[in-house]
A and B are shown apart, each in its own frame.
Chain A
Amino acid sequence: MAGVYFHIPFCRQACTYCDFHFSVNLSNISEVIEAMQSEIHQRNKYLPESSNIESIYFGGGTPSIVDVKHIEGLIESISKQYSLADRCEITLEGNPDDLTLAKLKELSSIGINRLSIGMQSIDNITLNFMNRSHDASQSIQSVRNAFDAGINNISVDLIYGVPDRSTSQWESELKEVLKLPVTHLSAYSLTVEDKTVLGKMVKEKTVVMPEDEFISKQFHILNTLASEYGFEHYEISNLAKPGYHSVHNSNYWNAIPYIGIGPGAHSFDGSSRSWNVKSNKAYTQKVSKGSGFNTTEYLTKDQIFNEYIMTHLRIAHGVDLEFVKTILNENELRKFNNIIDEVVIAGYASIQENYFKLSIDGWLICDTISVKLFK
């Protein structure tokens, strides 16, 4: 089992909150895609030859702004290198304003079978605040187009905890979205990152982020409402109808190896993590030289354990206490058990069939609990 991630580092404009790697200079798309093709070739030993590719994910940036032929080329190269699983999940992230019926039909024809739509909101004031390039009607239309184009596995991104957006508004937007033919939701609370426009606004106090209680309430609404519509809240920020959990993302949390291609993309081979240089220019130059575009970090046993805790507290399935027993020594295990007992007593978690699972309120303070349980 393995996955492939393609980072398409281009956007029409910068969203207020985003600190991902991208460029708004669209003139050198071909060059970067060419370098990515070369990277696939150069790193053909990264995953074992026998790897069966279960998922391919085009993320960004905004993959929907590049020509479909580029996407097709990248899929082809991967399928030459490895064998693709029968029901390989091939996801493409797209912005509503790019997702015309014609484009979606093309994407479907080259094998894209899952769409992740960067909807974020269906309220124009909110979209404007976020500096998104689409409006509310495009948001809704894009889902319908995808469905009509025959892509029936549709995920939408939503953001809650937005300043000046009331909880009742979040609730009504969420209801609208859940009525659409979507199979998956990725919902995030708006996070303030340092080097973003939002970060600057918060620092300068032109924007005040909402209180914890407000965000907590919206998170609860997300959980309750989505389950009313038949969604499973299977990870803190991922919800899906039965059978539609994201294969690609689930593999991240289950430490399945993946190769990340493109500027700023991360890879994981089971024991080390590596990442490509973030600048498009440096990336293309270094790839053409054939070296120096990639940095590697070898994980220690403690780090592997910490990553396990961090990712498994986030998933509904929870932390396997049998597995924890095999890792910790007697003293560490005693401390670990004391902490989980405390967390359970405080009402933030439960233990079911030897799995330690956080409750909704526990998820809200997942980082704090992770830190307590880290080695």
Chain B
Amino acid sequence: MENIRNFCIIAHIDHGKSTLADRLLEFTNTVTARDLQAQVLDDMDLERERGITIKSHAIQMDFEKQGIKYVLNLIDTPGHVDFSYEVSRSIAACEGALLVVDAAQGIQAQTISNLYLALENDLHIIPVLNKIDLPSAEPEVVKDQIVDLIGCDRDEIIHASAKTGIGIEDILDAIINRVPAPTGDPKAPLKALIFDSVFNSFRGIIAYFKVMDGEIHKNDLVKFVATGMQYEADEIGILKLEKTPKQKIGAGDVGYIISGIKEAREVKVGDTITHVKRPCEKAVEGFEDVKPMVFAGIYPVDTDEYEDLRTSIEKLQLNDASLVFEPEASAALGFGFRCGFLGMLHMEIIQERLEREFDMTVITTVPNVSYHAYLTSGDFMEVNNPSDFPDPSKLDRIEEPYIKATIITKSDFIGSIMTLCIGKRGMLINQSYLTTDRVELIFEMPLAEIVFDFYDKLKSISKGYASFDYHPIGYKQSHLVRLDIRLNGDPVDALSALIHRDHAYSFGKKMCEKLKELITRQQFEIAIQASIGSKIIARETVKALRKDVTAKCYGGDISRKRKLLEKQKEGKKRMRQVGSIEIPQQAFLAVLKLD
């Protein structure tokens, strides 16, 4: 156990985490450059495209130094706020962390919140200044930031360039010398922390764990504490580039277990594995049932595909337990599902996976958060769908979830960020300078405002420099109204949104304008109206189509024109007929792209 080192990498997106991981794997001969995919740890297509590690993984490296053989377990962490709970469990499995900071960009909000998590878990931090070979690198300035933040000595900071391989050996040496070996009692009853799980279509759910105490053997009868489920450990092993089966995994080490589990929801990140016969007294602390934060309806574009959609979402849920869903019916869209997501990125990922992996064409309705409604009758209800919003006359009060938002930015942008956050009903709680030109702003604001196009706006007003992180802080009373959209007089429930009273008028107006842009001319005129109750607050008109193209169509035009029209036909497949009106798929999310 004294030769095991468990560590993770804390870094902002694009600061070079994946590249650094690749170099460590190469240097320790865990993989060769040849079989290295662009980024080994990100093996989902979607992840590689987005450059974000969505689901964390782990990999074991062997490294020999001065005749001593070390086992290094690198535990990868997802890099987006939607997945912060999973990050916290990965961190809890480690004794050390590489804090990787881009020498040109400096410390970002996401990095700081993960760093705090690491410090809370008593991880030893090894600061690494990456991309020092960039012409725009400002190593001294960024070193100041790091020293300020973690109180280390300047010379503890390792200079590296994951791209060119500078500093890789120094990092490995630091991991061995500075990160403490895991502690734990090999003789105590088994206590292992599940920090991640993946779905394999042949083997079922594979859970990744770290043994805190005791040891696990192949064929042991084990119990998952939170779910209470019992399994036989059909296969256990360690994670090299491929899974490597073992007879035993001892205290302090990291491994995987396969026990014929079919559904992801049986394996909860943060849960504890113990023996049925000799269970541990206390489970690993910090377990939480992850709750969805954002809800939206998902409907098939073609109503015939409802059952296919159900099957696809069920399959997705097998490997993504954080996705929850229940059937719902919409007057406009027919039958579909109300789904709960960890956040907006998670929602986009699910939509994309449905389209790519299951070839489903779906409509996602306006997302909303979960509201608490208190009725005059004394009843309480959770509102996850604008259609369920109670009649205002029966409503005593409504509460909405709030978050604490941390924004780190260059001081130049404070003014415009303040304007943005206050416009989003934010309240400034704290403002502190990290360095002379970097400021940390802390706001309390409604989660619902983050859902509506906050992140993109923040990025654009700060020219990409501001970074952002948030944590839920509970519910607060609010003044909300339901804004409905009517097309030719008929309300389209899938376009309804719950909005703060003070924003309803401008929101309704923008929504009508946006829909006018997105709904193509049809053979009749279309009136787009926004209303609160029976009161119309905004209106736009899409004029009737009188003419498309009446150009020539001769020899050379035929194939070009056919292709153009076939493309339009493809586009039409992504439209949903509501009454007699065809609405393009993206109109349902128009609300997210309002200026």
Interface residues of A (CB under 8 A from B): 5, 186, 188-189, 191, 212-213, 215-216, 219, 236-237, 249, 252-253, 258, 260, 264-268, 273, 275, 297, 303, 306-307, 310-311, 314, 346, 348, 363-368, 370-372, 374
Contact call B552/A237, Cβ cutoff below 8 A: yes
Distance in angstroms between the alpha carbons of A311 and B546 in the assembled complex: 20
Choice from B549, B555, B568 contacting A260 with Cβ under 8 Å: B555
Contact call B555/A258, Cβ cutoff below 8 A: yes
Q: How far is the CB of A143 from chain B (nearest CB, A)?
A: 20
Q: A307-B562, A374-B566 are in contact. Are A368 and B548 (CB under 8 A)?
A: yes
Choice from A215, A265, A346, A367 contacting B565 with Cβ under 8 Å: A367
**Which residues from chain B contact A219 at a C-beta distance below 8 Å?**
547, 550
**Which residues from chain A contact B558 at a C-beta distance below 8 Å?**
252, 266, 268, 273, 307, 310-311
Q: How far is the CB of B541 from chain A (nearest CB, A)?
A: 14
Residues 562 to 576 of chain B near chain A (Cβ within 8 Å): 562, 565-566, 568-569, 572
A-B pairs, top 9 by smallest CB distance, nearest first, are A212-B546, A367-B548, A266-B556, A191-B551, A212-B547, A364-B547, A189-B550, A216-B546, A374-B569
Choice from A264, A265, A310, A368 contacting B553 with Cβ under 8 Å: A310
Distance in angstroms between the alpha carbons of A219 and B548 in the assembled complex: 12
Choice from B546, B566, B572 contacting A365 with Cβ under 8 Å: B546
Q: Is B545 an interface residue (CB 8 A)?
A: yes
- Tell me the nearest residue of chain B to A160, going by C-beta: B550
The size class of the interface chain B forms with chain A is 20 to 34
Distance in angstroms between the alpha carbons of A56 and B409 in the assembled complex: 70
Q: Is B523 an interface residue (CB 8 A)?
A: yes
**Given A212-B546, A252-B553, A372-B572, 17 extra CB contacts under 8 A:** A188-B552, A212-B547, A215-B546, A237-B550, A249-B554, A260-B556, A265-B555, A265-B556, A266-B556, A268-B555, A306-B566, A307-B559, A364-B547, A365-B547, A368-B548, A371-B565, A374-B565
Contact call A367/B553, Cβ cutoff below 8 A: no
- Tell me the nearest residue of chain A to B545, going by C-beta: A365
Contact call A186/B550, Cβ cutoff below 8 A: no
Residues 120 to 167 of chain B near chain A (Cβ within 8 Å): none
Distance in angstroms between the alpha carbons of A186 and B552 in the assembled complex: 8
Q: Is B356 an interface residue (CB 8 A)?
A: no
Contact call B555/A266, Cβ cutoff below 8 A: yes
Q: How far is the CB of A134 from chain B (nearest CB, A)?
A: 20
**Which residues from chain B contact A264 at a C-beta distance below 8 Å?**
556
Distance in angstroms between the alpha carbons of A265 and B559 in the assembled complex: 12
Q: Is B69 an interface residue (CB 8 A)?
A: no
Q: Is B479 an interface residue (CB 8 A)?
A: no
Q: Looking at B543, B565, B572, which has the most chain A CB atoms within 10 Å of its CB?
A: B565
Q: How far is the CB of B217 from chain A (nearest CB, A)?
A: 58
Q: A212-B545, A303-B562, A306-B566 are in contact. Are A275 and B551 (CB under 8 A)?
A: no
- Tell me the nearest residue of chain B to A213, going by C-beta: B546
Q: Is B561 an interface residue (CB 8 A)?
A: yes
**Which residues from chain B contact A273 at a C-beta distance below 8 Å?**
558-559
Q: How far is the CB of B344 from chain A (nearest CB, A)?
A: 33
- Tell me the nearest residue of chain B to A59, going by C-beta: B554
- Tell me the nearest residue of chain A to B522, going by C-beta: A368
**Which residues from chain A contact B566 at a C-beta distance below 8 Å?**
303, 306, 374
- Tell me the nearest residue of chain B to A369, going by C-beta: B548
Distance in angstroms between the alpha carbons of A295 and B553 in the assembled complex: 20
Q: How far is the CB of B563 from chain A (nearest CB, A)?
A: 9
